[in-house]
Amino acid sequence: MELSLDTVSDAVLWTLVGIAVIAVLVALVIKKIIGRIIVLVLAAAVIFFGWQQRQHVIDVADDLRGQACAQQPEFLGITVQLPDGWCDRTAA
């Protein structure tokens, strides 16, 4: 399975925003404070990890731009397909 760079930069961002919204809504529904804290901490951890992975893929792709692209970036172990012409030396 492969993802495109556009998917990682756009869809992952909206997925993380969705996770944050759902976590806040669940925290509002849960009555006990410890449950709220657990939900918000877990959501924050997932968002933090997802954001770091997204930023890593974008940074690696930017570093590879205009080079021979000997490697492809990965997002959570899934290879990210760079756009056509990304690795051409004339694209830099």
What is the amino acid identity at position 8? V
Residue 25: domain span: 2-91
What is the Cα–Cα distance from 60 to 72, expressed in whole angstroms? Answer: 8
* Chain segment 7-18, per-residue pLDDT in tens: 878 888 898 999
Please tell me the predicted confidence (pLDDT) of residue 67. 67
Q: Supply the pLDDT for residue 79.
A: 80
Q: Whole-angstrom distance between the N-terminal and C-terminal Cα of the chain?
A: 27
Total domain count, the chain: 1
The string of DSSP codes covering the chain is: -EEEHHIIIIIHHHHHHHHHHHHHHHHHH--SHHHHHHHHHHHHHHHHHHHHHHHHHHHHHHHHTTS---S--EETTEEEEPPTTTT-GGG-
